[in-house]
Structure 1
Amino acid sequence: MSAASNIHSLLARLLPEQINCPPASPGRRQRQFVGVGLPSQRALLVNRLDEAHDLQVIYADLRQQALAGSVAALNDLGWIWLNGKYWRADTGLAGHLLRMAALQGNAAAWFNLGQQHYFGKGVATSYVQAEACYRQAFERGLLHAAAALGDLYEEEVCDAALGWQVDMDQAYQWFFRGAEEGEARCRFEVGYRLLHGLHVNPDTRAALYWLELAAATGVIQAAEELAVHFSRGDDARYRDWRDRAVQMGSSLALTMKLEDQVQP
Structure 2
Amino acid sequence: MDEQQFERFVQEVAPLESVTYWLTQFEQAKSKQIQAMINVALLYKQHKNYDEMYALLDEATLMEDPYAFYELANCYFESLGNRGNEQLAFELYERAALLDHADAMNNLADMYFNGEGTEVDERKAFEWFTKAAHVGVAEAKYTLGIMYEQGIGTEQSDEFALQHYEQSAIEGYAEAMYRMGMIYFTGELGQKQNTVHAFDWFLKAAEQFHVDAIFNVAYCYEMGEGTTQNEENAIHYYKQASMLGDYEASNKLAGIYELRKSEQANKWRKKAIEQFNNEEM
Tell me, in whole angstroms, the C-alpha distance in 1 between the residues paired with 2:86 and 2:141: 27
**Counterpart for residue 132 of structure 1:** 127
Tell me, in whole angstroms, the C-alpha distance in 1 between the residues paired with 2:214 and 2:44: 29
Farther-moved stretch of structure 1 (143-152 vs 218-227): 143-152
**8 A Cα contact 1:82 1:121, kept in partner:** no
Which of the numbers 197, 202, 207 marks the counterpart of 1:216?
207
Tell me, in whole angstroms, the C-alpha distance in 1 between the residues paired with 2:63 and 2:166: 39
The 3 A distance-change label for structure 1 pair 106 and 124 is same
**Counterpart for residue 257 of structure 1:** 253
Tell me, in whole angstroms, the C-alpha distance in 2 between the residues paired with 1:240 and 1:230: 10
**Counterpart for residue 179 of structure 2:** 189
Tell me, in whole angstroms, the C-alpha distance in 1 between the residues paired with 2:243 and 2:58: 42
Following superposition, the deviation at residue 219 of structure 1 comes to: 0.9
**8 A Cα contact 1:150 1:172, kept in partner:** yes
The 3 A distance-change label for structure 1 pair 249 and 88 is closer
**Counterpart for residue 149 of structure 2:** 154
Across the aligned residues of Structure 1 and Structure 2, the Cα RMSD in angstroms comes to 2.9
TM-score in terms of structure 2 length: 0.66
**Counterpart for residue 7 of structure 2:** none
Q: Provide the identity percentage.
A: 22
Following superposition, the deviation at residue 90 of structure 1 comes to: 5.2
Relative contact order (alpha carbons < 8 A, sep ≥ 6): 1 or 2 greater? 1
**Counterpart for residue 264 of structure 2:** none
TM-score in terms of structure 1 length: 0.69
1:17-56 per-position Cα deviation (integer Å, ceiling 9, x unaligned): xxxxxxxxxxxxxxxxxxxxxxxx9xx969937x63x632
**8 A Cα contact 1:106 1:140, kept in partner:** no
Which of the numbers 233, 238, 243 marks the counterpart of 1:237?
233
1:181-235 per-position Cα deviation (integer Å, ceiling 9, x unaligned): 1211111110111011122211111111111111111111111111112222412
Tell me, in whole angstroms, the C-alpha distance in 1 between the residues paired with 2:238 and 2:78: 37
Q: Which has the larger radius of gyration?
A: 2
Tell me, in whole angstroms, the C-alpha distance in 1 between the residues paired with 2:125 and 2:167: 18
**8 A Cα contact 1:196 1:202, kept in partner:** yes
Following superposition, the deviation at residue 65 of structure 1 comes to: 3.2
Gaps of 5+ in 2: 1-37, 262-281
**8 A Cα contact 1:116 1:122, kept in partner:** yes
**8 A Cα contact 1:191 1:211, kept in partner:** yes
Following superposition, the deviation at residue 248 of structure 1 comes to: 4.0
**8 A Cα contact 2:89 2:117, kept in partner:** no
Tell me, in whole angstroms, the C-alpha distance in 2 between the residues paired with 1:120 and 1:148: 15
**8 A Cα contact 1:223 1:245, kept in partner:** yes
Following superposition, the deviation at residue 68 of structure 1 comes to: 4.6
Which of the numbers 201, 204, 209 marks the counterpart of 2:195?
204
Following superposition, the deviation at residue 74 of structure 1 comes to: 0.8
1:81-118 per-position Cα deviation (integer Å, ceiling 9, x unaligned): 45656314251x43432222112221111012101211
The 3 A distance-change label for structure 1 pair 101 and 239 is same
Tell me, in whole angstroms, the C-alpha distance in 2 between the residues paired with 1:167 and 1:77: 37
Residues 15-164 of structure 1 mapped to structure 2, 5 A cutoff: 48=45, 52=48, 55-68=50-63, 70-82=65-77, 86-89=82-85, 91=87, 93-155=88-150, 158=152, 164=154
Tell me, in whole angstroms, the C-alpha distance in 2 between the residues paired with 1:142 and 1:46: 25
